[in-house]
Chain A
Amino acid sequence: MHRKIILLTIALLPLFVLGQRKKFQVNGAARAYFFANTLDIADDIDTVTTRAANYGQTLLDLGISVFPNKNTEVLGMFRIRNDLGGFWGGGVSFNVRQLTLKGVAGNVVRYELGDIDLSMTPYTLWNFREEGVVNEADVFALRRDIVYYDMFYIDDNWRMQGGRAAFGLEFANVIEGIEFDGFLTRQRPASGTTEPERLYGGGTVTLRQSDDLSLAFHSVNIFDLAATIPDSILYKNNVHTLELNYTRDLNENVAVGLSAEAGVSSARYINYTDPRAPEAQNEWFYDAGITTGLKKLGITAKLAYKDVGADFLSPGAQTKRIDYSRFPGLYQQFTNAGIGRPVSYADFISGNTENSFRISEQLLPYFSAYANTNPYGLATPNRRGIYLDAERTDSTKFRSSFLRVAALTQSRGTGTDELKNFLLVEAGTDLYLNDFWGGEKDLKLDLGLRFENTSRGGEVFETIDLTSTFIDAGLSWEFVPRLDALAGAKVWSVSGNSFVNARNRFNLIENFETVNYDFTENALAAGLRYRFKGDNTLSAQYQRSSIAHADEALADYAISQMTILFSLNF
């Protein structure tokens, strides 16, 4: 395989030089990323874990786009990676990072084949953000972006392998047009006797009456193919929704609108011999609200009510980026007892988490200390209530601000008849201090706050009171042109108790784990960044993430990390 990769690369390369003229072009990225870590843990509880770690990599993603004609593009991206310390060919690997064919057929149908990026709506197909980010400082974001890039977390897209076609019809009267967009991807091949071939397909039909009014039908479907394994078991999941968006300008400064999505989900387990397998799980949801835009003030807001049924299952929208059931790659086990180290939000920044790169039919476990209100994004099942999203942009001082509030409750009790109540407040702003005195060099203060309370009344055995407060702040100061001093802090304090759902492979809750939290988890970082032209940066930074529990039986530790990152994009 690797031989083919490199030989293909070498064979095509001479063409690519020619390609810089018209028929070919090269894009991609390169980076050098070096780590020096230290684990700080008390010697009396851990005498077995390696205290220091040192590693790194230099890699080159060489993306070659070939244009056989003006409406066709063949994109192959090859990754060449050399791990730090691999001299004379040691620690070298070759991979194909992307192979995609794009084109327009008959000047009408736009199509993509191969590795494609897909997203639809937060209830159908959506790659929602992981925990640990409210209004992140640059010092963290520039490292998080590397993980996003590697995992193809481009906005809210999931990268999949398959095909996609889209076309549109334009009208002169009544409606402006109809847009059709469909895809079919392969989620896995048949394997052994238990895993049939699995496909995932769907699409959107959008009726656009005008820029102000549109109605869309979305459908996403997972379906196993029968007869691809003996005695086929088949899993099917269908989600169909209708989305309405309407906006009306009341005057030149004020716009109001309506935004709504509603739909149904259906999951079926066919021919499963496991008695726990439900025959079908059908559910519905709706999410409707009013929107407003105050142009002079730069404010947009949405106030909405949603009700997502307890059995609403939409794998494309509910798959978490972080699998909290897997231990992080670095310092996987620690303490003399050899316990697994729980995943921390800071591990994601460092690239140590087990991340999802395909959608999961199972609801992945979540860490209730981090998120209870929407652990599976907007499509989190068993949530109903009101929420507010408001944003404000300005050209000076508080250039970007937001406020998000959600007051939700369960629609079905879990474990008891009592319902959990959730209050979530997220707020943040980018404050450019230099705007106060007219300084040309940016001095930006990132401020973010997340407060979440989870509660449940009732008898003593069923009550819940969990408070989670997360401060996400930082500073970016351009003290020399293009050279920034960076600092950031993430402070997460959690106290209280929780009942964590233990779901089986069919997403049915089988048990509950009672958990008490009382810890503070910090990530502090500081560094320097130079911004070259384009999206090219050189940075060096120090980060220390630590966790301290009130319960002395739990292991407190800290990981210090010195990194150098030289990132080029082209």
Chain B
Amino acid sequence: MSPRQEHRYLAFGINTSNALKHLLTYFLLLAASTAVAQDTLVKKSPLQGFNISGNYRFYAQHRYFTDPYAIDVVNDQPTFLTTRSILLGDASQLPELTLNISGKPSAKTSFGTDLVVWNQNNGNFDYYRNLQLGINLYGSFTTDFGTVDVKAGGIHWHKMTPFTMQAFAGYNRFSIFDRNPWDPQFNEIDRRYSEYHELGAITQDERWGSQAFQGFLMNVSQLPGNFSLEFMYGKTQNATAAFNDGINGDLDSTNNAFFGFFQNTIPNNVIGGRLTKNFGKHRVTLNTFNRRTYSDVLATDPILNNVHTADFNFDFDQVRVSGEIGAGRYQDIANDPGFGEMASLKINFDKRLTKIPFELHAFRISPNAVNANGEFVNTSIIEATSATSGSNTIVGANGVLQQTGSAMLAIGQMANNRQGINLNFDLEPTEDLIITVGNGIATELENINNKVTYGHAINGLTMSRFWRFFFPSNVGPYGRVSVLFRGVFETVNLTDLSSNGTVVNDKYFNNIETQIKYKFDLFERPWYIFYLGMYNSIQPQFSPITVFNEDAYIRYYAHQLESYYRIHPKLVLAQYLGWERVIGNYATQINIETERPLNQEGFALGGGFDYMMSKNTALYFRHRYFRFEDTSFSLAKFAGHESTLELKIFF
């Protein structure tokens, strides 16, 4: 506002009729006593719908090793983790305080962001401060042709189809003894357990399966002819950017450099969309999803992932048929295998038809089809590194998930270079007893990998915390552990290769997953008991069920039993028992000293409680005794106790 414009606000509070030569003195005196009240300074149209919500989460962890883990070996000398450690704040970098801020500039526009703060209480008062999901903008408008909804910024949680952009949602078969930072909180203290009890394996929670996305999303619905259109352009966490220094950037408030903190501006984008036609309850959609980046700093050698598919959902009265079919490819300066086929078909049979509801899932994905943003795992092609990553190797900057070898995966989790069939049954003998059973069979299409990988359901989260704040690959005393966000997997080399090192034997994968969920009342209080069993194998021959003998390269068995008793309206007691075995055969890499293959055992015993302290405020305590040992690899072992305390308040 210029001085001239400001004049209208000035206070002209003095009146006089004397001669000009006396004016100044006279009126200055009058000014003190004849001031005129000012209008309020409040602007006319402040932001409406301004809202702040969030949560506070105190998290403390104490870990004590009775048998410390050898986290590294240098010059044949193992380096062990310290016997005792204390952590305040979550190792997965989730915040102590979250403030969700939102507002509505107009009726059809809005924004939201989430400030997060956490501190490890290490005495230097250095609070981590950042955004959790970023800044989201929303808008919508209606035209004669359709309704348009736009989202910009991000992180937005978004999904398209399993082959294009989606995360694996699973079949609700996991342990809930360990709490996740994002777990909701209910005033009914046992609701977390009752909801888990009620969820079947086939009816999956739609919240899951989305991918993190930044950029621009547009959805045009209610188009003529029951069409709808979706467009996306931006970045995913597998197609992102590298930054010099974000949080401590030295940009003053007048800096308008739109390339801000980017270490470089080499493109690394995804662009996609879908066109949907609805026929009553049925739907057919054409999808495309493409990632483009470059392996050179000139941005002339592209790295491409292209997936083009059609997906469908035919919802008949007692049978639902859904699936996706298409083609995908990966291309860089060194690899261009062309497009490969992708197909997935699911048929769900209602219990009115088959008495026992079940789902049949068949899939086939070519080794040429690679898409780190889809829900299938890449096991075939080592993708080139994007030049976008520059010299900064922060998480996500590299931009790709490297292939994992021949992975032992959960039922329903697809992979490329693989075809398979999964069967999942939901049994409900009574309202309180739910039994789900799944059997999966898969085989690779081409013999490419001389490695197999598997994860740890027991103590996996505990192991991932051995490498706090980082997610390294091929670490541990034998360099075969890779760390994920809240878990780990191990890589094992196969030895039944040809004389020139090529893979000669096929690989077949089998899974059996069983889950029993039972609820009963004791002293008129609900008690929930959950059992989860996993029986997996990888072997060179076909088998209709899991192989339980030494024919399998790797056998993996896990049992988890947990129970939750709401002993008081505000108190739930939790118990946990877990046991797993991993057994390798002699076609896998053996230990030179013991001359034996993998022979691992994991064990966990835990207890704890959930206590609703007051409305929206709860205290959660967990203690776990953990033990792991590979009798063939002497350094692969650890044991100890881990306690966590969490206080969570929503507002």
Contacts and interface: CB of A to CB of B under 8 A. Distances in A.
Contact of B259 (A6, A48, A329, A536): A329
Given A6-B117, A50-B266, A84 B215 contact: yes
A469 B299 CA distance: 36
B256 A147 contact: yes
Task: Classify chain A's interface size.
Answer: 35 or more
Given A72-B41, A92-B131, A174-B20, A109 B11 contact: yes
Contacts of A86: 134, 214, 240-241, 243, 246, 261
A201 to B, nearest CB: 13
A104 B113 CA distance: 35
A53 interface: yes
Contact of B260 (A36, A57, A97, A330): A57
B256 A532 contact: no
Contact of B46 (A25, A169, A352): A25
18 contacts: A30-B135, A32-B137, A36-B267, A50-B299, A53-B299, A62-B101, A70-B38, A84-B215, A84-B241, A95-B251, A107-B37, A181-B7, A351-B257, A533-B109, A566-B150, A566-B153, A568-B105, A570-B47
B233 A85 contact: no
Contact of A36 (B12, B106, B247, B269): B269
B216 A52 contact: no
A87 B237 contact: yes
Given A58-B134, A107-B13, A480-B143, 17 more contacts: A26-B47, A48-B298, A54-B266, A70-B40, A85-B262, A86-B214, A89-B130, A106-B31, A169-B27, A170-B14, A171-B16, A329-B259, A350-B258, A351-B258, A538-B139, A538-B150, A568-B109
B540 to A, nearest CB: 40
Contacts of A483: 141, 143
B267 A92 contact: no
A557 interface: no
A430 to B, nearest CB: 24
Contacts of B107: 533
Contacts of B246: 83, 86, 89-93
A532 B106 contact: yes
A455 interface: no
A329 B255 CA distance: 12
Band of interface residues on B: 35 or more
B51 A181 contact: no
Interface string A64-81: 010100111100000111
Given A32-B153, A90-B243, A536-B139, A166 B42 contact: no
Contact of A329 (B152, B257, B294, B395): B257
Nearest to A70: B40
Q: What are the 4 A-B residue pairs with the smallest beta carbon separation, nearest first?
A: A85-B241, A107-B35, A58-B153, A25-B46
A509 interface: no
Which among B258, B267, B299 has the greatest number of chain A C-beta atoms within 10 A? B258
Contacts of B129: 2-3, 6-7, 94
Interface in B389-447: 394-397
A51 B299 contact: yes
Contacts of B148: 530
Given A6-B117, A174-B20, A108 B47 contact: no
B524 interface: no
Nearest to A37: B265
Given A13-B101, A566-B152, A87 B13 contact: no
**Residue from B1, B23, B108 with most neighbouring chain A CB atoms (10 Å):** B1
B220 interface: no
A25 B6 contact: no
Interface stretch (A150-158, A191-199, A277-285, A361-369): A150-158
Contacts of B214: 58, 82, 84-87
Interface string A87-130: 11111111111100011101111100000011110000000000
Contact of B1 (A30, A117, A532): A117
A47 B9 CA distance: 60
Contact of B10 (A93, A152, A166, A481): A166
Interface in B298-343: 298-300
Interface in A155-212: 155-157, 159, 166-175, 177-179, 181, 204, 206
A60 interface: yes
A169 B126 contact: no
Interface stretch (A14-22, A373-381, A382-390, A459-467): A14-22
Nearest to B46: A25
Interface in A1-59: 2-3, 6-7, 9-10, 13-14, 16-17, 20, 22, 25-28, 30-37, 47-59
Given A83-B261, A170-B12, A97 B2 contact: no
Given A32-B153, A536-B106, A27 B2 contact: no
B388 to A, nearest CB: 8
A169 to B, nearest CB: 5
A125 to B, nearest CB: 9
A79 B115 CA distance: 12
A370 to B, nearest CB: 21
B135 A82 contact: yes
B15 interface: yes
A110 B11 contact: yes
Interface string B21-43: 00110011001100111101111
Contacts of B154: 58
B8 to A, nearest CB: 10
A321 to B, nearest CB: 12
Contacts of A275: none
A248 to B, nearest CB: 21
Contacts of B27: 169, 171
B555 to A, nearest CB: 36
Given A82-B134, A104-B11, A107-B13, A87 B212 contact: yes
A569 interface: yes
A13 B153 contact: no
A265 B480 CA distance: 76
B97 interface: yes
Interface in B131-167: 131-132, 134-137, 139, 141, 143-145, 148, 150, 152-155
A218 to B, nearest CB: 10
B106 A534 contact: yes
Given A52-B294, A169-B12, A329-B259, A84 B235 contact: yes
B37 A93 contact: no
B254 interface: yes
B221 to A, nearest CB: 16
A108 B105 CA distance: 34
B196 interface: no
Given A6-B117, A104-B11, A14 B52 contact: yes
B498 interface: no
A96 B251 CA distance: 10
A568 B137 contact: yes
Nearest to B129: A6
B351 to A, nearest CB: 42
Given A53-B266, A107-B35, A107-B37, A2 B247 contact: yes
Interface in B95-127: 97, 99, 101, 103, 105-109, 111, 113, 115-117, 126-127
Contacts of A357: 254
Interface string A333-366: 0000000000000000011100101000000000
Contacts of B105: 30, 534, 536, 568-570
Given A71-B41, A169-B27, A480-B143, A110 B6 contact: yes
A482 interface: yes
Nearest to A164: B3
A62 B593 CA distance: 64
A37 B135 CA distance: 23
B141 A530 contact: yes
Nearest to A25: B46
A568 B111 contact: yes
B626 to A, nearest CB: 28
A568 B47 CA distance: 11
